[in-house]
Amino acid sequence: MVSGPLEGIRLIELAGLGPAPFAGMMLADAGADIIRIDRINRAVYPPNQEAHVDLMNRGRRSVAVDLKNPEGVELVLRLVEHADGLMEGFRPGVAERLGLGPDACLSRNPSLVYGRMTGWGQEGPMAQAAGHDIDYIALAGALDPIGRAGERPLPPLNLVGDFGGGGMLLAFGMLAAVISAQRTGSGQVVDAAMVDGAASLMTMTYTLRAAGMWPGPRGTNLLDTGAHFYEVYQTAGGGYMAIGAIESQFYAELIRLMGLEGEELPDQMDRDAWPRMKERFAAVFASKTRAEWEAIFEGSDACAAPVLSMTEATENPHNRFRGTFTEVAGVVQPSPSPRFTRTPGSIRTPPPQPGQYGDDALAEWGLTGEEIGDLRSAGAIC
């Protein structure tokens, strides 16, 4: 049973890597009916019924299509006629060469939303250049501020470019344009570029800089480990505690629970004292184990939390209560987010093997069994 606030929205996803599948996952989790068009040379025949491990492909049905076969291209265009949107993550110009660019698709369905996910955008001096998350966030100004004083910038996994600035903003763009199309009857192209999205995620940091609250180089400011009250400290036994007591009342609670209340301490926002206070905090946290600090801070407003491993996070009592993680087909994974009270999202199926569930999807989108058989006989689908 399909559920979620996007129930009734139909989307096509031309299979790709990273951010575009993440956008598809978010939309599928929220109830959109998505057909994933996989490359025919990735299909397994006979189909492997075991769950695929690429969790970002969950919740969709796959049709394995030969996009070099005119009948395969025509199949996708026929599906476009019944879709609210299409998403692709190719380099600029690739979809056009396949015969599935915006002009071809919008001519078949003028109300279609055509989402495009790239690193550098559809136009510009670097539009055709190869790249990865680390390159996009570097050019966006998002990598330089991340890291400790005197050290090289530290890539924050590939969260900022691929998923925050890429897939999440593509999902937002698709929804904004679908709402517009439903209101006006006119579709459009959504040009989602990771360099743009990563820059957008830096808006608050630019605000702090404009307000004079981000005056120093990397690792010396309020939120980049410059402040002793926004830092990670090692505990006895090797664990870590994350401290984020920015507001004065939370800082006072932190000082009390650390046992420093009676000491003569500099003002919290005395930047000259931050390095000295980091050394003091480090010595205090090193005096107890992480478990001891967890017990001390439990239920407090000190803004202190243990640094959990991925495995520990799935077992944490708060996360278990919230259902932050779930198990599907034997694989533990993050649950759909955000949550909806009336139309909850769900993980409807494990990630499909290429071509898995394809016949059912094509039938629901209007193809007859005979047409599906003809396409298979012609080698257009597998």
Q: Helix 169-184 vs helix 194-201: angle between axes, to the nearest 10 degrees?
A: 100
Task: Determine whether 52 is an active site residue.
Answer: no
CA 361 from centroid of its chain's CA atoms: 26
Task: Determine whether 228 is an active site residue.
Answer: no
d(C-alpha 42, C-alpha 64), whole Å: 8
Q: Helix 369-377 vs helix 70-80: angle between axes, to the nearest 10 degrees?
A: 150
Task: Give Cα separations from 128 to 13, 42, 244, 333 (angstroms).
Answer: 22, 25, 41, 34
Under DSSP, the state recorded for 51 is: P
Amino acid code (one letter) for 255: I
3-state secondary structure of 147: coil
d(C-alpha 253, C-alpha 325), whole Å: 31
Q: 132, 301, 359, 374: which one is catalytic?
A: 132
**Residues found in the chain:** 382
Q: 162, 191, 196, 224: which one is catalytic?
A: 162
d(C-alpha 31, C-alpha 115), whole Å: 18
226 contacts 145 by C-beta, under 8 angstroms: no
5 contacts 339 by C-beta, under 8 angstroms: no
Residues with active-site annotation: 132, 162
